Chain A
Amino acid sequence: MSIEVKNVNRRFGNFAALDDVSLEVQTGELLALLGPSGSGKTTLLRVIAGLETVDSGQVLFHGEDATSQHVRDRRVGFVFQHYALFRHLSIFENVAFGLRVRPKANRPGEAEIRRKVMELLELVQLDWLADRYPHQLSGGQRQRIALARALAVEPRVLLLDEPFGALDAKVRKELRTWLRRLHDEMHITSVFVTHDQDEALEVSDRVVVMNEGRIQQIGTPQEVYDHPVNAFVYQFLGNVNLFHGRVDEGTALIGPAGLPVPAHGETTVGQAIAAYARPHDIELIRPRQGELGISARVEHLLAVGPIVRVDLRPDDSDAPIHAEIPRDQAARLALVAGDRVLVRPRQVRVFAA
Chain B
Amino acid sequence: MTTAVLQPALALPVRPVEKATAEPPWVRLLLIGLALAFLGIFLFVPLAAVFYEALRKGVGVYWQAVTEPDALAAVRLTLLAAAISVPLNLVFGVAAAWAIAKFEFRGKNLLITLIDLPFSVSPVIAGLIFVLVFGLQGWFGEWLSEHDLKIIFAVPGIVLATIFVTFPFVARELIPLMQAQGTEEEEAAVVLGASGWQTLWRVTLPNVKWGLLYGVILSNARAMGEFGAVSVVSGHIRGLTNTLPLHVEILYNEYQFAAAFATASLLALLALVTLVLKAWVERRFAD
Question: What is A's interface to B at a CB cutoff of 8 Å?
Answer: 49, 51, 71-72, 75-78, 80, 82, 84-89, 97-98, 101-102, 149-150, 152-153
Contacts and interface: CB of A to CB of B under 8 A. Distances in A.
Given A72-B195, A97-B189, A86 B203 contact: yes
A95 to B, nearest CB: 10
A153 B193 CA distance: 8
Interface stretch (B126-134, B145-153, B180-188, B227-235): B180-188
Contacts of B10: none
21 contacts: A49-B191, A51-B190, A51-B191, A71-B187, A78-B188, A80-B184, A82-B184, A84-B185, A86-B188, A86-B202, A87-B207, A88-B209, A97-B189, A97-B192, A97-B194, A97-B202, A98-B192, A101-B193, A101-B195, A150-B191, A153-B192
B96 to A, nearest CB: 22
Given A84-B185, A86-B185, A72 B191 contact: yes
B256 interface: no
B192 A84 contact: no
A152 B194 CA distance: 13
A101 B194 contact: yes
B113 interface: no
A51 to B, nearest CB: 6
B67 interface: no
B189 A101 contact: yes
Nearest to A73: B193
A149 B191 CA distance: 11
B179 interface: no
B198 interface: yes
B184 A102 contact: no
Interface of B: 184-185, 187-195, 198, 202-203, 206-207, 209
A158 B193 CA distance: 14
Given A80-B184, A80-B187, A84-B184, A102 B193 contact: yes
Nearest to B207: A88
Contact of A101 (B185, B187, B192): B192
A88 B191 CA distance: 18
Contact of A71 (B191, B198, B206): B191
A152 B192 CA distance: 9
Contacts of A88: 206-207, 209
Contacts of B194: 72, 97, 101
- A-B pairs, top 5 by smallest CB distance, nearest first, are A98-B192, A84-B184, A101-B194, A84-B188, A78-B191
A85 B189 CA distance: 9
Contacts of A98: 192-193
Nearest to B188: A84
Contact of A84 (B187, B195, B202): B187
Contacts of A82: 184
Contacts, number: 63
Given A51-B187, A72-B195, A101-B193, 6 more contacts: A72-B193, A76-B191, A88-B207, A89-B206, A101-B198, A149-B192
A224 to B, nearest CB: 29
A68 B47 CA distance: 63
B103 to A, nearest CB: 14
A152 B188 CA distance: 13
A77 B190 CA distance: 11
Tell me which of B184, B189, B193, B195 has the highest count of chain A C-beta atoms within 10 A of its own C-beta: B193
Contacts of A49: 191
Nearest to A98: B192
A49 B190 CA distance: 11
B200 to A, nearest CB: 12
Contacts of A86: 185, 188-189, 202-203, 206-207
B120 to A, nearest CB: 33
B190 A72 contact: yes
A20 B116 CA distance: 44
A194 to B, nearest CB: 18
Contacts of A101: 189, 192-195, 198, 202
Contacts of B198: 101
B201 to A, nearest CB: 10
A153 B190 CA distance: 12
Contacts of A84: 184-185, 187-188
A152 to B, nearest CB: 8
A90 to B, nearest CB: 12
Contacts of B192: 72, 97-98, 101, 149-150, 152-153
B190 A71 contact: yes
B181 to A, nearest CB: 8
A203 B75 CA distance: 70
A87 B184 CA distance: 11
Contacts of A51: 187, 190-191
Contacts of B190: 51, 71-72
A307 B207 CA distance: 50
Contacts of A87: 185, 207
Contacts of A153: 192-193
Contacts of A78: 187-188, 191
B142 to A, nearest CB: 50
Contacts of A89: 206
A97 B185 CA distance: 12
B75 to A, nearest CB: 37
Nearest to A87: B207
A87 B198 CA distance: 16
Contacts of B187: 51, 71, 78, 80, 84
Contacts of A72: 190-195
A153 B192 CA distance: 7
Tell me which of A71, A75, A84 has the highest count of chain B C-beta atoms within 10 A of its own C-beta: A84
A82 B207 CA distance: 17
Contacts of B207: 86-88
